[in-house]
Amino acid sequence: MLFLDDSPPASVVPSHDPRVDATVNVVNWEILRALACQPYPAQSAYWGDQISGGHNVPDTVVVRVPLRLPNNLTVEHSEALCSRIASEVATMQYIEAYTSIPIPHILHYNTEADGGGAASPYMIMTKVEGSPLCFVWDKMEDTKRDAVLRQIVDIYLELSSHRFDKIGALFKRDGVGKDAWYLKPLSYITDPDYPSPGQSSLGTMHSSGTDHWMAYSNAYLEKISNEDFGSDMKPYFYAHVWFLQSLIPSLYDNSLDAKGFPLMPADFHSQNIMVTDVDSVPRIVAVIDWEFSSTAATSSFAQYPLFIVDHPQWDDDHPLRSRNLRDQAKFNVFMNEAEGRRKPDGGHRLSNAFANCYNLYLFEQSIQYPPHGDVLYYQTTSRFDKEVKVWNELSTLLHDEVSDKSFTRQSIKDFILANRWRLAGDSKALKWVASEDKLNACLHTSPRLPHLTYLQTNSCSPTSDQQ
């Protein structure tokens, strides 16, 4: 952040990421400070807190530079940094020109490797008001969260109304009107230090969600086949991806993309949504951090914002599970209403896609982030592990009455309740019945079953939806 006055400099936030020091030591901050002062009647300026990570709280002027490796940049890394800044700039310029979605205004930018003397590509942006939604979301009562969700729905619908002919990253060339914007393959904005499992497929743009994910999964299978010779885990990983690939045709509704592909923010999470008036009627005043954004299949686009889905480490009785279930149901209602107003005769296809996004969400999390597959599997099947523990306890305590018998979930629940006087207060069976009753009470209030589990990582730790 840059403050446009003569006050003493603020402290620097320490970072354990070696890329931060490498970036700070290389960039010519004096040039960036001079450029930031040009649009303002300011003679001098000083740097405020250094902020890195998934969110920031702009104060006056924000200068954004991509992090670099501690050692010298290769040509590949340098080109990747330049492309990421160029695509983010193009995306923000398009959003500002053709939508009403509030974002920071770009004052100055350079997408060349040397940054015009700054030694890095960069963006200089205006300040935005408010606080990150993640700081206040958990403190909001239902009516205030509803007010935010209605605005989130409007943002989704506005993004969905702008369509592009392929799946790719947005860039801009000289020209007039929308024709100045064009797409490049997603490989132009990926991080060479953290390649995705299907990285080799991202050099081609596809014209359907099915084609995109089939190519991605084929590349993933090829990667597994060619690497880790002799590993005893290769059959498991290969079978896992092969199974996921078999689901693709049934998951992606290509008819949703008949008019093109919507622009999807890569990290539309609560740390990147700035809000004001949180004590009255909360108002979204900016959506920040458009890095890695791209066009996407509508089926991929239509997934709940991550701050209303569950964290995978939450216990089954976590108090926020019921809140998220309630918020997802409200989101569905608001989306259905808003889509009906915008397209009174066009059906509610986007609303239906959101309301039925669970399986597709699981697929994309599993195939893009391999460790998540195991977590999702456990999340989905952990209730059966609990059944085993309950059955083992009953078999030990009431062997003669349960052996050689087949029970349904309901009949075993009835059996446990009928014999509860014979079970200890800390009985696994009694706790299981209580958790089943609580879950059923939650589900009875919502049209959706089941609700989502949040797996992506983020950096806005003070709120419980991210711990």
Element (H, E) at 352: helix 349-355
Task: Give the strand order in the sheet containing 294-295.
Answer: 163-164, 261-264, 294-295
Per-residue pLDDT tens over the stretch 138-187:
999 999 999 999 999 999 999 999 999 999 999 999 988 999 999 999 99
Q: Which amino acid is at 36?
A: A
Radius of gyration over every alpha carbon of the chain, rounded to an integer in angstroms: 25
Residue 103 has pLDDT above 70, yes or no: yes
Q: Could you read off the pLDDT of 378-397 as tens digits, one per residue?
A: 666 777 888 888 998 888 88
Compute the distance between CA of residue 86 and CA of residue 104 in angstroms, rounded to an integer.
16
What is the amino acid identity at position 384?
Answer: F
If one compares 174 and 16, the residue with the highest pLDDT of the two is 174
What tens digit of pLDDT does each residue of 63-78 get?
Answer: 888 888 777 678 888 8
pLDDT in tens, 407-431: 888 888 889 898 888 888 788 888 8
What are the residue ranges spanned by the domains of the chain?
2-128, 378-444
Q: Report the alpha-carbon angle 219-221-227, nearest 5.
A: 100
What per-residue confidence (pLDDT) applies to 453? 40
Helix axes 428-444, 319-342, angle to 10 degrees: 20
Higher model confidence: residue 349 or residue 438?
A: 349
When pLDDT is averaged across residues 353-361 and rounded to a whole number, the result is 91
The DSSP bridge partners found for residue 126 are: 61
> What pLDDT sits at residue 314?
76
What pTM does this model have? 0.80
pLDDT at residue number 437: 67
Report the pLDDT value the prediction gives residue 207, as an integer from 0 to 100.
96
| Residue pair 123/88 in contact by the 8 Å Cβ criterion | yes
Q: Which amino acid is at 79?
A: E
Helices (H) and strands (E) in the chain, counts: 14, 13
Q: Provide the token pair at 76.
A: 């590949």
H/E run at residue 172: strand 169-172
Q: How many angstroms separate the CA atoms of 213 and 219, rounded?
A: 10
- Specify the pLDDT at position 58: 38
Whole-number Å distance between alpha carbons of 365 and 306: 12
Return the sign of the alpha-carbon dihedral for residues 386, 387, 388, 391. Answer: positive
Tokens of 298: 């509508």
pLDDT tens digit sequence for 224-258 = 999 988 888 899 889 989 999 999 999 999 999 99
More confident residue, 226 or 455: 226
Axis-axis angle for helices 370-397, 428-444 (nearest 10): 130
Q: How many CA atoms within 13 Å lie on the side-chain side of 303?
A: 27
pLDDT in tens, 283-317: 999 999 999 999 999 999 999 998 998 876 777 77
Q: What percent of the chain has pLDDT over 90?
A: 48
Q: How many whole angstroms separate alpha carbon 149 and alpha carbon 185?
A: 32
Q: What are phi and psi of 12, to 5 degrees?
A: -95, 130
Structure tokens at 355: 């309301």
Strand partners, 163: 262
Q: What's residue 22's pLDDT?
A: 82
Residue 366: what residue type?
S
What does the block give as tokens for 335?
């989306």
State the Cα–Cα distance between residues 37 and 39, nearest whole angstrom. Answer: 6
Identify the H or E element spanning 98.
helix 75-98
Tokens for 467? Answer: 């711990």
